[in-house]
Amino acid sequence: MWTLRQRALALFLGWHCLAVLGSLAADTAPGAAIRRLTAPYERLLGVYQNWNMFAPNPPAITEWMEVEDTPRGGGAPVVHPGPHGPPSAAPVVFGYRRAGKFERTVMKPNEKALRRAIIDARCARAAAAGAPLARVRFLRVSRPTGAPPSAPLTRAEVHRRPCPP
Amino acid sequence: MSPAAGLHRLLFTPVDARSLGLMRILLGLLLIANHVELWAELHPMLGRAGWAPLAAAQAEPHRASHYDVVPDGPALHLVHGAGLLVLVAFTLGWRTRWVAWAALAVQVAIHHRNPWMQHGGDRVLRLATLALCLVPAGAALSLDARAGRGAPTVPALAHRMVQLQWMIIYGATGAEKLLGRTWRDGSALLLALGNGDFQRFPHRLDPLLALPAVRALAAGATWATLAWELAFPLLVLHPRTRRPALLAGLVVHGGIWLTMRVGAFTPAILWGYLAFLPAGALGAWAAARSPAWLRPPAAGYAPAPPEVPR
């Protein structure tokens, strides 16, 4: 016999399954309609479904980020490593650096707002430190997967933003 | 049997609480390891002067994070330390009904403060914790049970939720990979193994991966992995195919763990395999190996009744 608690739990599970379904089919019209309903729940508990690990294809490049600061009032641009920098050449038996994941996310095409916010914060900090910047650029540094460490690197601009006056 | 009765049986059949106790302890240890590992990057990833701008995090709707209001410096360490205490309490099964939700809140707060550094392993851990929030996860092998708040059985709801979720994970990732050219032409595994962002032993495997025999083997392994992922949701449904499917998973994820750095994903996904094992046998195994101080006093603790077969 169903108790009230069991009914509530079954209802919750049904709701959770609906959210899963909407999340997995987000690119379809019914999926999008479900997501309008369930997205707040997914976001609030951080339980959205996205299982594209190495899918549809593993990345074909090894990539990391560089940040180029151009000082206000002239001076040569200064290039800094991103939060992670180039991948280590030493074996990493334990440990996972989230900065690497963060860098890869920052360079994704759909993360413009994040890049703008990082640059604005960087500009504000530089101004507060008495060394104002004119412009900040994010660069993607990469080499093809499987290429030796000595292989030439490719640098491409990901984002460029002037600092507010 | 009516559909309602069938659903009731599926979700609320009593299962050995000790199997859930073992799952709680192992999940707790994973959460602790994940939480402690973040300490090394606490300020760059969660601090106000770090890389993740608070304004960008707060621009997202439906979120809440106590990390938002914590200043950099010792306070950030204190707050992170408080989160660790919650996870330890969850692992030990202290006031588990409430602490399980608090353990979920700790993870969600980190996710909301910096969603950009999160990986699939974090998501799996949150989903696993949510499943354990819905049942008395501290009914056995816990301080709760020691204090007389235990029970020999728990509803199978958490086990079912984990089983369903894991079937979805494998089915969804398999379907997504079917769309990829490299999974179809057999080169995906080589690409993944050769990627410097993930290599555990950077460039040490490169000469091996260039050998024609290894490349052919890797192509076969790519297709086998894809077929196994797509078939996983069906294979685990039948007791006869469940064990080979789980063993194949152990091999695949073990291989990934040995060669690649994918954060907590490997242990988190393997944790879910426990939900597919016979709860009675798993519970007995766990109870025989658990420390005495996590077991309830012998008197008044009845052994779990036999399970209803799935």
Q: Is residue B95 part of a domain?
A: yes
Provide the number of structural domains found in chain B.
Answer: 1
Give contacts of A5 with chain B, Cβ < 8 Å: none
B304 belongs to a structural domain: no
In a domain, B102, yes or no: yes
A51-68 residue pLDDT tens: 988 999 999 999 999 999
| Closest chain B residue by Cα to residue A93 | B200
The pLDDT value recorded for residue B8 is: 96
Does residue B303 lie within any of the structural domains?
no
Q: What is the mean pLDDT of chain B?
A: 94
The whole-number average pLDDT for the span A76-100 is 88
Binned at pLDDT 50, 70 and 90, residue B304 comes out as low
Point out the residue among B61, B118, B202 whose CB comes nearest to the CB of A88.
B202
Q: Is residue B3 part of a domain?
A: no
Q: Tokens representing A162?
A: 């002037």
Is pLDDT larger for residue B230 or for residue A95? B230
Residue B302 is predicted with a pLDDT of: 59
Note whether B157 contacts A89, CB cutoff 8 Å.
no
Distance from the Cα of B190 to chain A's closest Cα (Å) equals 8
pLDDT of residue A94: 72
- Find which of A19-28, B70-79, B280-289 is predicted with most confidence, using mean pLDDT: B70-79
Q: What percent of chain A has pLDDT over 90?
A: 81
Q: Is there a domain that residue B299 lies in?
A: no
Please indicate if any CB of chain A lies within 8 Å of the CB of B261.
yes
Average model confidence (pLDDT) for chain A? 93
Average pLDDT score over residue span A154-164: 96
- Asked, for residue B310, whether it belongs to a domain, the answer is no
CB B143 within 8 A of CB B288: no
* pLDDT computed for residue B207 by the predictor: 87
Lowest mean pLDDT among B26-40, B135-149, B189-203, B226-240: B189-203
Q: Measure CA of the first residue to CA of the last residue in chain B; give whole Å.
A: 14
Q: Does residue B230 lie within any of the structural domains?
A: yes
Give, in order, the Cα–Cα distances in Å from B229 to each of A126, B173, B245. Answer: 49, 7, 9
User: How far is Cα of residue A59 from the mean position of the Cα atoms in its chain?
Assistant: 15
Are A145 and B194 a contacting pair at CB < 8 A? yes
The predicted pLDDT at position B274 comes to: 98
- What's the pLDDT at B307? 63
Q: pTM of the predicted model, to two decimals? A: 0.94
Instruction: Give the CA distances from residue B306 to residues A110, A126, B151, B283, in Å, rounded to whole numbers and listed in that order.
Output: 53, 67, 15, 12
- pLDDT, average across residues A82-101: 86
Alpha helices in B151-298 (DSSP H): 157-178, 181-185, 188-193, 206-209, 212-235, 239-259, 265-271, 279-289
Residue of higher predicted confidence among A112 and B202? A112
What integer pLDDT is reported at residue A7 of this predicted model? 97
Q: List, as ranges, residues 13-72 from A with C-beta within 8 Å of B.
A: 13, 16-17, 20, 24, 39-40, 43-60, 62-64
List C-alpha distances in Å: B78 to A154, B107, B293: 42, 16, 29
The answer to which of A57-61, B18-22, B297-301 has the lowest mean pLDDT is B297-301
Q: Find the mean pLDDT for residues B205-233.
A: 95
Range of the domain at B261: 13-289
**Given pLDDT bands bounded at 50, 70 and 90, which one contains residue A91?**
confident
The verdict on A2 touching B (C-beta cutoff 8 Å) is yes
Selection from B263, B260, B272, B270 nearest residue B33 by Cα: B263
Predicted local distance difference test score (pLDDT) of residue B306 = 57
Rounded average pLDDT over A17-46 = 94
Please determine, for residue B217, whether its predicted confidence score (pLDDT) is greater than 80.
Answer: yes
